[in-house]
Amino acid sequence: MYCSEKTLALMEELTQLIGISGQERHVCRALASRYACLADDVIRDYNGSVYAVKRSKSASPFRVMVSAHSDEVGLIVRQIRPNGLIKGRVIGGLWEDILPGARVRLLTDEGREFRGCVSTLAQKAMKERLGKEKVPLDMVYLDFGFISDEDARANGVLEGCQIVVDGPFQVLNGGRRLLSKAWDDRFGCILGIELLENLRDTELPFDLYVGANVQEEVGLRGARTAAELVRPDLAVVLDCTAASDTEQFTPPFGGIGQGVMVRYADGTYLPNRTMLLDYVSLLKKNGIPFQFHESKGGTDAGCINSFSRGVPALTACICARNVHTGSMMIDAEDYVNCLRAVTAFITTLNSSKLEAYRSNNS
Ligand SMILES: [Zn+2]
C-alpha cells in the first residue's frame, strides 16, 4: 500500500463531502473537528476559511500560513421547471462537456442529500434539432426524480442549492492510483491534516497556521480574507493542478506519478526565486522526485503573495488527470512525496531563511 488505511479513510471522508464555492460549511466543519485534536487553537474568518494554529514557544515568532482550499466546482439550482427538472448555473470552472448522462448529488440547505443524473435530449434528437451533438448548458437538466416544482420544493430544494458531479472514492491498482471527485483541493485539505500530525511533537520557531480557504474556484476570493485573518509572513499553498499526460507526457505541464510540481509561473503569480530554488535543493537533498511546471490558471498563492507588503509564497502542488470532473485521478506516491516535501520545508524554515526570501530582489 502506498497510503496507509488511515490516510485512505481520511481521503474517502473528505473527498466525498459536498462543498461548492460559497457553500463549504460541511468541509469546514470536518476540518475544524480534525484540527481541534492537533492544534492549540482553531480560528475562522467570517467567510468560512478555517485554520489550525500551532503556537511557537519562541519570544517573537513570525507567522507561516499553509493553505488549501475547501471548495470544489459544481452547480447551483437556477430554476425548478414545472415537470420537476432543474436548470443549473455552473459555479467555478466545471467542464460542461462532461455533464450529459453524469450522476449528480444535490445538497439542500437543511443537509438533505438527493442523488440524480443529468438529462438531455437523446443524441440523435439533439443533432436533428441543433445540427450538432454538443449539448448547450441551457438544454442540460438536473434530474433528481422530482415529478413537479412543488415536489422538489416540498423536499427542501431551493434556488441556489448546491449540486456536484458524483465521483466515488476508489483505490486502483493495489493503491497506486486514487480516483475520486474533488481532489482539487481536498488533496490539500488532507495533506494539511497529515502535516499537523507529522509536526505534533516538533517545536517550531514560528506560529504555524494550517487551513483551508473558501471560494478559490471562483477567483481566489476566500484567500484575501483568510490572509487578513492570519497576517502571514510566509505562505505555502497546497493545490491540485491539471496533468497533461494522456496523449504523451509533455513537460512542463505535468504527469501523474512523475513527482511533485514545482510551479515557476502561473496566471496569477510569479514565485519568489530565492524561496523556489531553496525548495528545489531541499527536494534534491531528500531524493523527492519533482517536475517543473507552469499553468495558465492560478492558485491562492497569487492572492496571498500580494497581501500587505508582500508575502513570499510557494505552491506545493501535485497534478491530477480530469481536473474539474467527477473522475480525478491522482498517483498515491505523488501524495506521499508532497507530504514529505512540505514537512521537510516547514521543519527547516527559520527567521534567517525568511529574511533571505524577503531580500530576494534587493
Ligand atoms: Zn484548486
pLDDT above 90 covers what percent of the chain?
87
Closest to 290 (Cα-Cα) out of 272, 315, 271: 315
Per-residue pLDDT tens for 300-313?
999 999 999 999 99
What are the residue numbers of the active site? Answer: 216
DSSP 8-state code for residue 246: S
Grid look-up 503573495 returns 305
* pLDDT grade for 351, boundaries at 50, 70 and 90: very high
Number of H helices, E strands in the chain: 10, 17
Per-residue pLDDT tens for 89-120?
999 999 888 888 999 999 999 999 999 999 98
Per-residue pLDDT tens for 263-275?
999 999 999 999 9
pLDDT at 191: 98
Per-residue pLDDT tens for 137-146?
778 899 999 9
Distance 362 CA to ligand 1 centre (A): 32
Q: Is the pLDDT of residue 218 over 70?
A: yes
Grid look-up 497546497 returns 238
pLDDT at 130: 73
Q: Is the pLDDT of residue 62 over 80?
A: yes
pLDDT at 31: 98
Distance 241 CA to ligand 1 centre (A): 7
Distance 150 CA to ligand 1 centre (A): 36
* pLDDT grade for 47, boundaries at 50, 70 and 90: very high
Q: Looking only at Cα atoms, what is the longest distance across the chain?
A: 73
**What gap in Å lies between CA 237 and CA 66, rounded to an integer?**
6
Distance 57 CA to ligand 1 centre (A): 33
Distance 299 CA to ligand 1 centre (A): 6
DSSP 8-state code for residue 296: S
Q: What is the CA radius of gyration of the chain?
A: 21
**What gap in Å lies between CA 77 and CA 26, rounded to an integer?**
19
pLDDT at 98: 86
**What gap in Å lies between CA 14 and CA 9, rounded to an integer?**
9
Per-residue pLDDT tens for 314-323?
999 999 999 9
The whole-chain average pLDDT of the chain stands at: 94
Instruction: Give the three-class secondary structure for 51.
Output: strand
CATH numbers and ranges of domains, the chain: 5-72+181-358 (3.40.630.10), 74-165 (2.40.30.40)
Q: Is the pLDDT of residue 122 over 80?
A: no
* pLDDT grade for 71, boundaries at 50, 70 and 90: very high
